[in-house]
Amino acid sequence: MAKRRRDYYDVLGVAKSADDAEIKRAYRELARKFHPDVNPDRPDAADRFKEINEAYAVLSEKETRDRYDRFGHPGDGGGIGSVVDAVEEAIGDVLRRRRGKQRGRDLRYTVEVTFEEAAFGCTKVIQVPDGDGLPTRKPREFSVVIPPGTREGGVKMIKGEGEPGKGGGAPGDLHVIVRVKEHDLFRREGHDVHSELEVSFAQAALGAVVDVQTLDGSVRMRIPEGTQPGRTFRIRNRGVPRGAGKAAQRGDQLVRVTIAVPTTLTPRQRELLAEFDAASGSDRVPAQRRSFFDRVRSLLDE
């Protein structure tokens, strides 16, 4: 049994009352989304792209759309005999006319940006080989605006700058794909930036004010007394912008604390740590314990 074709309006995701502009806009968005050149790893891309083009071929022409609205797909029960033949013939005519004018292939270009450029936005000048493939042609130059908050794999489309069409067909488009370099300190989750901060045992135990690197440079952050390894601190409004402009809201920076454990100790440091271990279970007064910690901190920081 032949597979029943989907309703063309459902294929494009538009209502039956949609005007020509809505149908054209829906077609362009879906064609970009399911184009096989942009989705090489998606097994259904070619079939979906073919289905989208077939739906648009019918709904973009007044005559074939009117017939489709009255009779539906041939063989779906909306008409019989000569009516079915007429609808199928009309659809075939439209598709044949479109095949005579072949649209040029879309081109892909990958541009690499830094973590900071993706976060705050930038403009990149790229050189793309000429679409007709002739070695005598010079590469074409484009200025591509990377907006603030751009993510890995983001696509910028430059309309009509792909390969030329055949038989008078429209040219393809140029799809610029953004690749974001990994950062030594930061990683991104949504609009938040994550980083790690290593502090000494003495700083974690006694508390300290430390320098933390952010997208905006170094800032001071207080580590409270008794900070445990793995604790995360939030620095507000130091993440990735949510839009353009200085007034745009931003995510936060989440700083996870790790504690550096000394690998070598002097005899005096060992003595103090042994004293600390023994004192941990006693009822020493706070002033005595503070004096001990001060001595530990001075020795560990040497």
Domain parsing of the chain, residue ranges: 8-100, 107-180, 183-261, 262-302
pTM of the predicted model over 0.85: no
- Each residue's pLDDT expressed in tens, for the chain with a length of 302 residues: 445 678 899 999 999 999 998 998 998 888 888 887 777 777 788 888 888 888 888 898 888 888 888 877 755 554 444 445 555 556 666 666 655 678 888 888 999 999 999 999 999 999 887 655 555 457 888 999 999 999 998 888 888 888 888 877 888 889 999 999 999 999 999 999 999 999 998 899 889 999 999 999 999 999 999 999 999 999 999 999 998 888 899 999 999 999 988 788 888 888 887 887 777 765 444 554 455 555 555 555 55
What is the CATH number assigned to the segment(s) 183-261?
A: 2.60.260.20
Q: Quick one: 8-100 is in which CATH superfamily?
A: DnaJ domain (1.10.287.110)
Q: Which residues contact 97 (CB under 8 A, 6 or more apart)?
A: none
Q: Which residues contact 78 (CB under 8 A, 6 or more apart)?
A: 70, 71, 72
CA distance 213 to 211: 7
Residue 91: the pLDDT is: 62
Residue 80: the pLDDT is: 42
Quick one: 17 exposed, middle or buried, by C-beta within 10 A (0-12, 13-18, 19+)? exposed
Fold of 107-180: HSP40/DNAj peptide-binding domain (2.60.260)
* Entry field: residues in the chain: 302
Residue 278: the pLDDT is: 79
Q: Which amino acid is at 274?
A: A
Residue 211: the pLDDT is: 96
CA distance 108 to 85: 41
Residue 146: the pLDDT is: 93
Q: Which residues contact 1 (CB under 8 A, 6 or more apart)?
A: none
Identical fold between 8-100 and 183-261: no
Residue 98: the pLDDT is: 58
Quick one: 139 exposed, middle or buried, by C-beta within 10 A (0-12, 13-18, 19+)? exposed
